[in-house]
Amino acid sequence: MSKYITTPIYYVNGEAHIGHAYTTFIADSLARFYRLKNEKTFFLTGTDEHGQKIEESAQKNNKPTQQFADEISASFKNLWDEFEISYDKFIRTTDADHKKGVQHAFMKMYEKGDVYKGEYEGHYCVSCETFFPETQLIDGEFCPDCGRSTNIVKEESYFFKLSKYEDALLKHYEENPDFIMPKSRANEVINFVKSGLKDLSVTRTSFTWGVQMPEKLNDDKHVMYVWLDALLNYVTALGYGNGDAKMEDFWPADIQLVGKDILRFHAIYWPAFLMSLDLPLPKHIGAHGWWTRDGEKMSKSKGNVVSPKEVADAYGAENLRYFMLREVPFGQDGDFSQRAFIDRINSELSNDLGNLLNRIIGMSGKYSDFEIDSVDVEKYHAKELAQMNEVIESLDTFMENLQPHRYLEELWKLFSIGNGAIQEHEPWVKMKNDQKDQALATVALVANILAKAAVMLHPIMPKTTATIADALDFTINNESYQELVLDKKLLKVFNIKKVPPLFPRIEEPLMPEAPKAEPNPPKEAKKEEPKEEKEEDNLIEIGQFFETKLKVGTVVEAEEVPKSKKLLKLQVDLGEGKNRQVVAGIKEFYSPEDLMNTQVCVVANLKPAKLMGMMSEGMLLAAKDEDGLCLVRPEKPKKAGTPIG
């Protein structure tokens, strides 16, 4: 059985950021996981190098466009190589084979009647490389995705008959409910398709930096639009249009990872293109969330963009891999905080894992001259072995369902079993009581737990686990996976090696903290000064405060309000036996998917009011400043209906 895993191809208008690293870490972990199981695996990543934005960025940097693309693409590839990302192919859309495959696909669509020539006029966002209907624009001018100003573009274009595939797409979503992962993202895509698909402009004449048209069409003034060019990389990398060398082995893809901002292109345009080419659709499109820094959106202007290389240089690339995959459920937004990062290194990596290995090295050296023998483990530790095997048997499901955070959470139970066994059985007491065989059995039990945990942690932290395996005198590969995990065998007699501490404790942040947002300068006072308002004029009695009932609620349903730029309609569980409907003006800052199954703070005793004809039975607490709006949420999950005050 083969596995094909892809990241998006990253756009070369800037260097890699923490979001790029997150996607790549997940893909690399999946590829290593399947290779460990001896499944034939192909892992693709690369760079997207065409389009008006690249052409303009090159001009701003006073460089030829190809040279500019070469340099940025190399920065991505060099970083992934430094991080030892195990990709099988790094594709560039400027590769000759890719361009040939795209031209082959375009011609096939054209000959099928799915591509035709017409004229396009619409609002175009250069930053997003996307056209938007006026109804989707903010204030009739600004891009709904990035907020930048759009331009009205009118030009001759070739169109792809996207509307032709509307029903086929909806049928595919219905028949394949796991096509979009996590499932909470699927409604956004389905609703977009149900609202009606328009044919898609797939060529441009206003710039030249793109894939040229097939020679048969003799139409040199057009270049292919970036999304048609870019999306086809997933099959041109396998040889599509150039002999199809690996298409039979690996297509359709098993999992295609994307950020939530490009889900629509991958879950609507991409499958429609494949249907037109009579190719099977990928099995899963996995859309992850965005990353903030210390709770704030990252931006160059704020100076708070997280460089994955800077973090890796300070803390280690594998620690970064572990943190990002453990910190946030796949699909939800994550927050990079040095304090949270340090806490995970110290508590989970250093205390739970590193110290456990150090304890076993120390005890084995003291009790048996570093020799470890599993001969009595089953005799004295049947209970712990059963617990260990139960945990290990549960792990595959989490990885295959794109839940690396749950995979790691469950795997860490193994270290709890190991540390718990030492506390319960106290080998040092057994040695004093002349029960050496029992003491050494406990040491060997923990060594086996570490060995099996290292095998399963290997896809996430390959270098760290290789060090652990070397200390335990084995190598992590398919053979050891078969013996230790599938066959549940124990380690043979071996001499454990001393290793330096794997995760030295970190007491202080190793990187500069992000700069704090500057407060807005005070506004000039008006000529007519208002009457000074004293602080005591706004004081209230405590009884007045308690007249307001604040409760923790769980959002169980969320959807956009049609024809409204601001409103979302939520169903909120306040522990009352039935849900409350709350209409909130937060659409500019949160999508329905961002809110599903999250908790909010609700003013629960407001008089119901109608907004756009819909009854709203409460109000969400939120904070808003010059950087935007964020909801007030409980620090830790609380039971729905928990009072606040």
**Which residues, 6 or more positions from 189, have their beta carbon under 8 angstroms from its beta carbon?**
173, 180, 263, 264, 267, 268
DSSP 332-391: S-EEE-HHHHHHHIIIIIIIIIIHHHHHHHHHHHHHHTTEE--TTHHHH-HHHHHHHHHH
Given the candidates 3.40.190.10, 1.10.3720.10, 3.90.226.10, 1.10.730.10, the CATH classification of the domain at 354-495 is: 1.10.730.10
> Which residue, 554, 555, 559, 556, is CA-closest to 187?
559
The per-residue pLDDT for 518 is: 57
Task: Look up residue 483 and give its DSSP letter.
Answer: I
CB-based burial label for 347 (10 Å; 0-12, 13-18, 19+): exposed
* Binding site residue list: 125, 128, 143, 146
User: Which residues are CB-neighbours of 70 under 8 A, at least 6 positions away?
Assistant: none
Residues of the chain scoring pLDDT < 50: 523-537
Q: Please choose, from the candidates 616, 596, 498, the residue with its C-alpha nearest in 3D space to the C-alpha of residue 555.
A: 596
Residue linked to tokens 């193994």: 414
CA–CA distances in Å: residue 338 to residues 316, 344, 506, 512: 13, 10, 11, 9
Report yes or no on whether pTM surpasses 0.95. no
Q: Could you give the CA distance from residue 357 to residue 503 in angstroms, rounded to a whole number? A: 11
Tokens representing 405 are: 């955070």
Q: How far is CA 599 from CA 296, 551, 587, 590, in A?
A: 19, 10, 17, 13
What beta strand segments (E) does 32-129 contain?
Answer: 40-48, 89-92, 115-125
The pLDDT value given to residue 148: 82
Q: Where do the structural domains in the chain lie, given as residue ranges? A: 354-495, 539-644
CATH class of 539-644: mainly beta
Look up residue 149 and give its DSSP letter.
B
Nearest Cα residue to 114 out of 344, 224, 274, 229? 274
From the annotation, which residues make up the binding site for Zn(2+)?
Answer: 125, 128, 143, 146
Count the neighbouring beta carbons within 10 Å of the beta carbon of residue 374.
Answer: 21
- 238-256: buried (b, 16+ CB within 10 Å) or exposed (e) per residue? bbbbeeeebbeebbbbbbb
